[in-house]
Structures are given as structure tokens and as C-alpha cells.
Amino acid sequence: MSMAYQAYQTWDKQQESDRIEAHLPLVYSLASSLAPRAGLVGLEMGDLVHTGVLGLYTAAASFEESRGSTFGAYAKPFVRGAMLDEIARHKNEPRAVRDKYRKIRDAEEKLVRELMREPTDAELAAEIGIEMKMLNHWLIDIGMRDRASLEDLAERSSFDHADTTTDRQPELHFLKRESKQLLVAALAKLPQREQQLLYLYYQEELTLKEIGYVLDLSESQVSRTHKKALSSLQKLLAEDD
């Protein structure tokens, strides 16, 4: 083995170690969001963190920076998936529910490796071979509602006056008059990154800092992208008026 190759291996392992350490806050953030669900099956926060770190190592081992994805976006489904698998392992679910869960997780893992990012609901449904409406039913059945579709995000963000007057959503006042169908269509026209950011902020209720860990952006970049996404959404809705 040449000295150059040994040096490369050492550098590569150090880079992987640094990458994992930098994304540990992502593990804690996802563990915190799933802790209530884990508690129902006797798991603690520490169990999720341990499992999530293993998921982070799995992501690091297969990450290809040359393919243009950020590590945070690539690692999130591995970390979250590992935690969900651990929770599912402690559940006593009917076989039909377990089968649906396995099909969704297998399809998600396959697509993440192919796309180097978390797949959209449309991509996931296509991979499984079912309609979007059926996928949403499956997600309800297996308790994975935090993998919401654009329809779920639209449902959360429109019409409900309580939603649009909370501290978290005052900027959504312009959505109160929009129909769900128009909002879904407008959301679908946004770039993937902006859709993902809105989903993480309004559906999973992550902070701007936590979203930064997921998307490999600074908090100020997340803030600017958030404002840009809302501005684009408002313009798209105005075009449909």
C-alpha cells in the first residue's frame, strides 16, 4: 500500500469524522421530535440518539459529495429512518401495517441512495406503485404523519384562523383567503429546497437553526430562503387570482 493511498485514507476518515460531529445536532433535533412517539413503546431519548448516530454513520459511508447533494439533506432520512425503524421494532402492529411500513421504508432508502436526497411524496408513491392519495392513507395507518404531503402542508397553512395568527405563522396572513387546491398547486411550483424548508418549518416545526443543520445552510441563509419562498408563493397565488 503506497504512502499516498494511506494518507488519502487517513484524510478521508478524518473528513467523515468531522462531518458526523458537525451533524450531531441534527440527530438530537430529530430524536427530540420523535421522543413522544418513542415513549409510547418504552424507548427513551438516549435510545433514539444512539440509533440516530448509527444512521448518521450509514449515511456518511455512502455519501458522494461529487453528486451535488449536501450531507445534511442526504443524512436526514437515514437518521430519521433508523429511529423510526427502532420504534417500529418495539411496536406490536398487525402484519398489514408492518408490510406497509416496510414497503415505504424500502422505497425511501432506495430513492435516497439514487437521488442523494429525501424523495418527495410523489417520487415515493411512484416507486411503490401506488397513487398519492393511497400513500397518504398508508402514512396515516403506520403513524408517519410527519412525512406530510403538500396537501397536508396546505391544510395546515390555510383557512384556519388560529394557525395564521400564532407566533409561528403571522407571515401567512395572505393564505387565509386561498383555496387548498390553489395553494397545493403553488407549493408544487416552488423549488425543491424551498418546499423542503417550508415543510420543515411549518409541518415539523423545526427552528431556523435546526433547519440549517438539515439543509447545510447558515441560519441567515435559512431565513433568507424562507422569506424568498413565502414571497414566491404569494406571487404565484396572485397570478392565479
Taking the mean position of all CA atoms in its chain, how far away is CA 156?
A: 17
Per residue in 125-136, pLDDT (tens digit) is: 999 999 877 887
Look-up: residue for cell 397565488? 237
Contact 217, 235 (CB under 8 A): no
Within a 10 A sphere around the Cβ of 142, how many other Cβ atoms?
A: 23
Per residue in 61-91, pLDDT (tens digit) is: 888 888 888 888 899 999 999 999 999 999 8
Mind listing the domains of the chain with CATH numbers? Answer: 6-92 (1.20.120.1810), 93-145 (1.20.140.160), 148-241 (1.20.140.160)
- Is pLDDT above 70 for 92? yes
Per-chain mean pLDDT for the chain: 79
What pLDDT shows up at residue 59?
92
Per residue in 5-41, pLDDT (tens digit) is: 444 345 467 778 888 888 998 899 888 878 888 888 8
Within a 10 A sphere around the Cβ of 135, how many other Cβ atoms?
A: 21
What pLDDT shows up at residue 2?
52
Contacts 24+ apart (CB under 8 A), 127-132: 128/103, 128/104
15 CB-near residues (< 8 Å, 6+ apart)? none
What pLDDT shows up at residue 163?
39
Alpha-carbon Rg for the chain, nearest whole angstrom, is 19
- Is pLDDT above 70 for 3? no
